[in-house]
Amino acid sequence: ILNVEQSPQSLHVQEGDSTNFTCSFPSSNFYALHWYRWETAKSPEALFVMTLNGDEKKKGQISATLNTKEGYSYLYIKGSQPEDSATYLCAFRSGNTGKLIFGQGTTLQVKP
């Protein structure tokens, strides 16, 4: 059974704070690691697809790093804004399958 774990489960920060979340995934048979942002009443929005060990991706104030040898990825948000409030999901893709295995998500609430 392949497990993807995310921590923390939820996070409350003040506007302007920087924050980070963790995604742990199996370190064997790695193909790709996906990050999504899911706002209430909307569809999940793709943030990053990461494939190489040591990869770093950046989109605005959001960035992510990847360590495939130890099986973890970090998502960072610099200077959180209320509009960053959402559930952040990571998903592991193994081998050459199309199946995404999702973590349970980290719900971020940014207070003005």
Partner 1 sequence: DAGVTQSPTHLIKTRGQQVTLRCSPKSGHDTVSWYQQALGQGPQFIFQYYEEEERQRGNFPDRFSGHQFPNYSSELNVNALLLGDSALYLCASSFEGAPQPQHFGDGTRLSIL
Residues that bind partner 1 (CB under 8 A): 4, 6, 31-32, 34, 36, 42-46, 49, 51, 89, 91, 93, 97-105
Residue in the structure block whose two tokens are 């996906």: 34
Nearer to partner 1 by Cβ, of 17 and 65: the residue is 65
Nearer to partner 1 by Cβ, of 17 and 57: the residue is 57
Nearer to partner 1 by Cβ, of 14 and 41: the residue is 41
Min dist CB 65 to partner 1, Å, is 17
Nearer to partner 1 by Cβ, of 5 and 15: the residue is 5
For residue 50, with 0-12 CB atoms within 10 Å meaning exposed, 13-18 middle and 19 or more buried, which class applies? buried
Min dist CB 74 to partner 1, Å, is 18
Min dist CB 112 to partner 1, Å, is 26
